Structure 1
Amino acid sequence: MQVYQYLFPPYTPYHATSEGMIKDDPLKIELALRERSNRVGILSTIIFIKLETRAGYEISGYLDYGDKLIVEDWKPIFVGRKKIIGT
């Protein structure tokens, strides 16, 4: 019974920001599937981002998805109003 309650808690201590998202981007879909397990601490997800500027320079970095879910509001990202950018 304890394992079941751990995997499927009777209450959610968080709000899933991926609810009601636009399902057009495969990255957003995969992040939405991993949101709950990252918030609970079952899974750790590291996101690698690589951007190319207009001048031709490449900027890259890593994001800890679980940490970013706590620190930032991901609702605008899942809805499509904001891009994923490392800080």
Structure 2
Amino acid sequence: MENIKTTIVNYLKDNSFMDKNANLTDTDSLTQSGIIDSIGLLELLDFLSEKYSIEIPEDMLIPENLDSLKGLTNLVTKLTK
């Protein structure tokens, strides 16, 4: 699970508005803090789908799963089991 979180953080640092030196907690809102916008979120989901060979069901595309490191990490973890 820690590897998934690290992968997400590294992706955000390289492909979003996130400051490379910023400290992001597991529950920080990615959208409200301005780290990612709707297009960036779609690109992140596409990246995670390809990296982990998963398909994210429509019913799992909810804010609780998409707007924080914790939510995204849990989502990927559930789908890779």
TM-score range, shorter chain: under 0.3
Higher strand residue share: 1
Normalising by structure 1, what TM-score?
0.27
Compute the TM-score of the two structures, normalised by the length of structure 2: 0.28
Q: Which has the higher contact order (CA 8 A, sep 6+)?
A: 2
Q: Which has the higher helix share?
A: 2
Structure exhibiting the larger radius of gyration computed from Cα positions: 1
